[in-house]
Amino acid sequence: MDFRLTDDQQMVRDTAREFAARELEPKAAARDRSGEFPVRELKALAQLGLLGVNIPEAYGGAAAGVVAYSLAMTEIARADASVSVAMAVTNMVGEVIVKFGTEEQKRAFVPRLTSGEAVAGAFALSEPQAGSDPAAMSTTARRTAGGWRLDGAKQWITSGDRAGVFIVWAKTDPQAGAKGISTFIVPGGTPGLSAGKHEEKLGLRGSSTVPLLFDGCELPESALLGKLGGGLSVALTALDGGRIGIASQALGLGAAALAHSVSYAKQRHQFGRPIADNQAIQFRLADVATELEAARLLTMRAALLKERDKPFSREASMAKLYASEAAWRACDAAVQIHGGYGYTREYPVERFLRDVRVTRIYEGTSEVQRIVIGRSLSQAGAGK
């Protein structure tokens, strides 16, 4: 595969890089401490076209493709992972509506996401007792004279208290198992929809994560996204694409950790010389750099396959699995190289370590990725 970047891809990457360095990185530590939601920053990303990187221009997107989206996500995450996760979910929600929605749905909701009017999008699949097993969800959507009534609860919803557009999964036929799940578009502020208290998280503290409650939430017939009973297919398609986003986010965090490690190792002197001269440090940095480069290539491969409309589910799982694990090792190494200072807030590496940990959990845990990869190998053959 040819991973040379086009002029447009380079422009998107450079735009994201410049914005991240100027606007995000200087305030990332303060946002982590305060938990302030990045409303202004998300609106600025919208103005740059970064809330709809892979969305057609007809709906306000940049139409720059999946590779460009991955590059932009990496640059934003390198500066502030909390902002990147809101960006990732908003892009994902827009892409799902473009792929599965009617023309009326696309024109009604996607421009609200790409323009920043909706502030953010939210992806409401997980429940308190249904995380890796969405078929176990208990949220229901029952037909009414005017459309649908949603009842139930969702858990771990990024931007759930701020989003203007939600994609929600519910059982429309509880007796049909996975084939009885459907997808709905729910505008923020719909009566019967409410958000619970913010989760007190280890990392990504500048991104809000809340439970949602649907209590007699009335929706029109037109709220159904895709086919009745086709919700699981919608979710799996969305998650495959979302895994490219999280792999890209992990890459950004890993790259930041490596850059700070190299800089610190050059400046920190022990026994009369920089610790960067010590072979133990050099070997650890070499391993980190090599693993991150391998992760980058896996992620680019998955993004390019998706962009070319080729099967990419296994490749996305491989990228997400390897990038999240490699980034975790990179951030852990950064703390170790910084020594006692790495354990304090004087340096950002402790924040990187906290932020990166969740990349091995959301959009499918590392264990789930191994299941996806293993099943694909047994079904199609390892050489295919």
- Taking each helix axis as running N to C, give the angle between helix 231-267 and helix 81-100, from 0 to 180 degrees, rounded to the nearest 10: 160
CB neighbourhood size of 113 (10 A): 31
Task: Give Cβ neighbours of residue 226 (< 8 Å, ≥ 6 apart).
Answer: 100, 101, 182, 183, 233, 234
**What local confidence, expressed as pLDDT, does residue 381 receive?**
56
Domain boundaries, the chain: 7-120, 122-229, 232-380
The answer to whether 363 is a known catalytic residue is yes
Looking at the DSSP assignment, which residues form a beta bridge with residue 218?
149
pLDDT averaged per 10 residues, the chain (length 384):
88 98 98 97 98 98 98 98 98 98 98 98 94 88 97 97 98 93 98 97 97 98 97 96 98 98 97 96 98 98 97 98 98 98 97 98 96 92 50
Assess contact for 347 and 28: CB atoms under 8 A.
no
Q: Which of 57, 350, 363, 367 is catalytic?
A: 363
Distance between CA 340 and CA 344 in Å, rounded?
7
Give the fold, CATH level 3, of 122-229.
Butyryl-CoA Dehydrogenase, subunit A; domain 2 (2.40.110)
For 182, the 3-state DSSP assignment is strand
**What local confidence, expressed as pLDDT, does residue 109 receive?**
98
Task: Give Cβ neighbours of residue 122 (< 8 Å, ≥ 6 apart).
Answer: 89, 93, 157, 158, 159, 160, 163, 165, 166, 167, 212
Distance between CA 30 and CA 169 in Å, rounded?
35
Distance between CA 289 and CA 254 in Å, rounded?
9
Distance between CA 160 and CA 214 in Å, rounded?
12
Give the fold, CATH level 3, of 232-380.
Butyryl-CoA Dehydrogenase, subunit A; domain 3 (1.20.140)
CATH for 7-120? 1.10.540.10
